[in-house]
Structure 1
Amino acid sequence: MQYSMRFVAACVLCVGAIACASPRGAVAQETYWPTQGWRASSPEAQGMDSGLLADALDYVRDHQTPIHSLTIVRDGHVVLDAYFWPFQDGQVHDLASVTKSVTSTLAGIAIGRHELDLRQPLTSVFDRRRIANLDERKERVTIEHLLTMTSGLDCDASRGEITLSRMRESADWTQFMLDLPMRDEPGSHFEYCSGGMHLLSAAITNATGLSALDFARRELFDPLGIGNAAWPADGQGVSHGWGDLRLEPLDMAKLGYLWLNNGRWEDRQLVPEAWMRAAVQPQLARNGHRYGYGLWAYPSRQPPLFEAEGRGGQRISVTPEKNVVVVFTGGTFEPGDIGSFILRAIKSDQPLPENASAAARLATAVGDAATPPHPVSFMSPLASTVSGKRYTLAENPLDLKSFVLTFSGAEAAQVQLELGDRSDPPKPVGLDGVPRVSSDGNSGLPVAVSGRWESESTFLLEYNEIGNINTYRFRLRFSGDEVEVQLSERSRVIPTARFRGTSAD
């Protein structure tokens, strides 16, 4: 459903009507929780300025910011829910490291159910495993140390999170993390450690008998009304504790609303209140440390806020003083650039007069964001020469073995990629400035592919994994039977590289 278009248009028609007003201060959650769906409101009814929110969307357009969605909830009402084509309402998005905050929330629930204890040593949690490099320091590592990323394990976040990469190459990821030697006294030093969050996911599974995904469905997602979720697991059935959870943006906002309400949902305290309050406060008071229990805390900002943060611009940002939850998804951008517009848009703790012209402008901006760009095209004479040829490529960071580009007209083409030992089905390529969307992309997420001739010999192919963070660009320079490839990825998950290929066709 396109909440944004419906509620903005409705409020243009009913300016000043009671239905478009919900005064801040009325305890909305006593009678309404968004379990079955969010209620929408004009920004003005919740003390926000539609014009400034329209300015935010204009900024995105003018700077071609690679944002995928923006959702703003104030006083329990959705005041903006925008989707930026080709990402669409109803699609799940990769949360990246926002997943860590969900894993930590599940640990809090398990603690509230007395299935885990905050200060329980890992040697007790995993008492059936033989742990290497066991010494007195490792025997003092607890669940709390994993939550605060102060375990003291020799976990290295540099070089693209090298420890995480090595963990993923091992046969048993949990055992790999447990066997790491100690580097610091537990609780003394913060080190961003994705593998530690996977160890926390394993602890949840060990304690509950369920994967983190199944435990979440029973104890978190179902109570919140979250049905569309995907979360991969390792070879032992342990959900990836550090990342790869996929949810819809409106469901991400439900998590933020749960945190805003100190772990309470409807008539249930899903997460212990005392644990939740501690989770959103920095837990290591030195060196500017800002990490709570799986959440980043900024108590000195004005206004104070806390948030779940993920690579590429994924955010669930909560500002309790303003009763606001903001959700961003995207393909590598800086949310703070847009966040400044949102902060300025919060004008009052009481309803503002409705503004028909600003509401109409915002509705237009939301509609434009969801609309494909206008078609344009240019076709090189070289297209007929390279069309249908298979180019075999030299070694490269993406492990791209070969590609075939097929041109059949001025508006669309087709590309087939061979990645590692997997040959992707052919994908349509928009040549007219409008990416073509396919539903059978990597890991089941759709992809949008576009291309254009930059010159008679150079073709630029953009492969956008919608719902994910990664957008790959291939600049292909053809010469005879050879091609020079310049590969880049917007979030730098792989290094920029140049390599060559040849065609035997």
Structure 2
Amino acid sequence: MVSVKNRVLSISLISIITILFFTSNQHVSGIASWPTSEWQETSPFNQQMNGRQMNKFDDYMDNWNNDHQLSHLDQFIVIRNGYLIKEWYSIYYDADDIHPLWSVTKSFICTLMGIAIKEGFIPSVNEFVLDYFSDRVIANVDSRKEAMTIEHLLMMSTGLAYPGDDAIWPGWMSADDQVQYILDLPMATDPGAIYNYDTGGSHLISAIIQEATGMNTSDFAEQYLFNHLGITHYYWQEDKQGIEFGGHGLYLTPGDMAKLGYLYLNNGSWDGVELLPDNWVDAVTQTQWYFNSNWGYAKQWWTHPYRNGYSAQGRYGQSVFVFLENDIIVVFTGTIYDSDQIPYLELIHEYVFDAITTPTGMMWLELFLPISGTYLVVSIIALVRLRKV
């Protein structure tokens, strides 16, 4: 038989747990407003995340000395369900500082191509590249180069004899005309035959947008993308002909980088406006080339199987990770010269996804529970054992 004292105690404990469970559900924030002006901030708790686990990232970063690659990480933010729930900044950057995106620019130029198609400036990705440069005298033209399409530019499969960014960079950047320099390259294979990472091809996308719209790429971006997303603080490098670089050169804040991820999480729609063509998001984030079990390439986006995700990636540690499974966006910026060695997915797993919990689990992981504007402090000071007497 259970004593009256223990029965009362057990009922009281059950009542407290029940109250906490329903209180937790009431304090999960509802649908976020669109972050056009700014991201709404909330606690990890309000998005069913363990803030203590997420804050271990700060301790992790504090442990690295200046000789370690991770000591050059600059900005880190996490968005869940449209809310900013975590941010960390180095001593050199804060939330309002724009950062060079390097090849994350490619995912923006891909988005602008989708918008140009939706707005009727360009019929489709099947258009031939050379048709947009008919006023130029182009070297090494053959049937293969004539068959190159916008789709091939997006897929990194132009067939051009592009030797790689490191090899081509000095000559390309010193050329009088960066677009002409890429167009003049000889062909190595048929378009679409192989993957060959080609920042020059991404620059051709920017040049095509300018040719088709009659607007500078940045002006087109402002009118058709940035104004919708509320991106006002940016810088975009131009080539020597005044064309914004399509494969690098854009500078943004981490919050504005995350807006691109949020646009894609919402299938190309922003605050009720469809910015991208139907199926564009699916088309450009489906893996076209597989490198190993962890990474692949789509169309100016990288893909990985972890949590049904994909990402924009840039040299020196720039990343926008989009995770469909849990409505999460993670942004990193850095000045990390060996960024290929940074285990981003492992960091995200430990400090973001390991922090996801259920409402009942959250009650015992968080010490402070917001209730009607006050805080309830939960302390477990003893283990209660119910026993028969």
Per the shorter chain, which TM-score range? 0.7 to 0.9
For 1:174, give the aligned amino acid: V
1-side partners of 2:197 and 2:359: how far apart? Answer: 37
In the alignment, structure 1 residue 221 sits paired with structure 2 residue 222: no
Q: Partners in 2 of 1:203 and 1:349 — Cα distance? A: 50
State the distance in 1 between where 2:360 and 2:198 align. 42
Cα distance in 1 for residues equivalent to 2:168 and 2:367 = 53
What is the TM-score when the length of structure 2 is the normalising length? 0.81
Task: Tell me: CA distance 1:134–1:287, structure 2 relative to 1, closer, same or farther (3 Å).
Answer: farther
Contact 1:280 1:306 (C-alpha < 8 Å) held by counterparts: yes
Instruction: Report what 1:343 is aligned to.
Output: 353
Q: Is the counterpart of residue 85 in structure 1 residue 86 in structure 2?
A: no
The verdict on how the C-alpha distance between 1:348 and 1:313 changes in structure 2, with shifts beyond 3 A counting, is farther
1:294 and 1:203 mapped to 2: Cα distance? 16
Give the deviation of 1:348 after TM superposition: 4.2
Quote the residue 2:195 is aligned against: 190
Tell me which amino acid in the other structure corresponds to 2:269.
R
State the match for 2:19 in structure 1.
none
Matched ranges for 1:38-187 at <5 A: 38-64=39-65, 65=70, 66-116=72-122, 117-157=124-164, 161-187=166-192
2:330 is matched with 326
Instruction: Give the AA of the match of 1:37.
Output: E
1:177 corresponds to which letter in structure 2?
Answer: I
Tell me the distance in 2 between the aligned counterparts of 1:180 and 1:56.
46
Measured in 2, the distance between the counterparts of 1:18 and 1:284 equals: 42
Shift of the 338–130 alpha-carbon distance from structure 1 to 2, 3 Å rule, reads same
Structure 1 spans left out of the alignment, 5+ residues: 1-15, 360-505
Answer yes or no: is the 8 Å Cα contact 1:21–1:41 preserved in 2.
no
Amino acid at match of 1:167: W
Aligned-pair CA distance for 1:347: 2.5
How far apart are 1:18 and its partner, in Å? 8.6
Give matches, 1:257-276, under 5 Å.
257-276=262-281
1:358 to 1:126, Cα distance in 2 relative to 1, 3 A: farther
Q: Distance in 2 between matches of 1:200 and 1:350?
A: 50
| 1:304 pairs with 2:308 | yes
Task: Tell me which residue corresponds to 1:314.
Answer: 318
Distance 1:62 1:284 in 2: 37
Structure 2 SS opposite 1:201: helix
Q: Is the 8 A contact 1:313 1:330 kept in 2?
A: yes
| CA-atom RMSD in angstroms | 2.4
- Say if 1:20 and 1:41, in contact at 8 Å, map to a contact too: no
Contact 1:149 1:191 in 2 (8 A): yes
The whole-number CA distance in structure 2 between the counterparts of 1:95 and 1:208 is 24
Deviations along 1:452-501, one digit per CA (max 9) or x if unpaired, are: xxxxxxxxxxxxxxxxxxxxxxxxxxxxxxxxxxxxxxxxxxxxxxxxxx
> Aligned partner of 2:355: which letter?
A
Counterpart residue number, 1:489: none
Deviation at 1:113, TM superposition (A): 1.4
CA distance in structure 1 between the aligned counterparts of 2:182 and 2:155, rounded to whole angstroms: 16
The letter for the 1-side match of 2:357 is K
Q: TM (normalized to structure 1)?
A: 0.63
Amino acid at match of 2:285: V
More helix by share: 2
Q: CA deviation at 1:229?
A: 0.7
Q: Residue by residue, what CA displacement relative to the aligned partner does 1:357-400 show, whole Å, maximum 9, x if unpaired?
A: 489xxxxxxxxxxxxxxxxxxxxxxxxxxxxxxxxxxxxxxxxx
Give the equivalent residue in structure 1 for 2:250: 245
The 3-state SS of whatever aligns with 2:189 is coil
Aligned to 2:321, the other structure's residue is in SS state strand
Mapped to 2, the partners of 1:354 and 1:34 lie a distance apart of: 31
Amino acid at match of 1:312: Y
Q: Is the contact between residue 73 and residue 334 of structure 2 (CA under 8 Å) also seen in structure 1?
A: yes
Q: Is 2:214 the partner of 1:201?
A: no
Matching residue within 282, 288, 293 for 1:283: 288
Gap runs ≥5 in structure 2: 1-22, 370-389
Aligned-partner Cα distance in 2 for 1:218–1:304: 31
Q: Do the aligned partners of 1:20 and 1:42 also contact (CA within 8 Å) in 2?
A: no
Q: Give the whole-Å Cα distance in 2 for the aligned partners of 1:310 and 1:19.
A: 40
Q: Match of 1:263, as an amino acid? A: G
**Does structure 2 retain, via aligned residues, the 8 Å contact 1:45–1:351?**
no
| Counterpart amino acid of residue 363 in structure 2 | P
1:193-227 per-residue CA deviation (whole Å, 9 max, x = no partner) reads: 11111111111111111222111111111100111
Residue type at the aligned position of 2:120: H
Q: Sort the Cα spacing of 1:112 and 1:254 in 2 relative to 1 into closer, same or farther, 3 A.
A: same
Q: In the comparison of the two structures, how many residue pairs are matched?
A: 335
Give the superposition deviation at 1:124.
Answer: 1.2
C-alpha contact (below 8 Å) 1:295/1:306 kept by paired residues: yes
The 2-side partners of 1:219 and 1:304 are apart by 28
Question: Aligned partners of 2:361 and 2:292: how far apart in 1?
Answer: 41
Cross-structure match for 2:11: none
Counterpart CA distance in 1 for 2:184 and 2:309 is: 36
Q: Secondary structure at the match of 2:75?
A: strand
Answer whether contact 2:51 2:366 (CA < 8 A) is retained.
Answer: no
Shift of 1:241: 1.1
- Cα distance, 1:351 vs. partner? 9.4
State the distance in 2 between where 1:188 and 1:73 align: 38
- C-alpha separation in 2, matches of 1:292 and 1:320: 16
Q: Give the % identical residues.
A: 35
Q: Which amino acid aligns with 2:287?
A: P
Taking a change above 3 Å as real, the CA distance of residues 287 and 74 of structure 1, as seen in their structure-2 partners, is closer
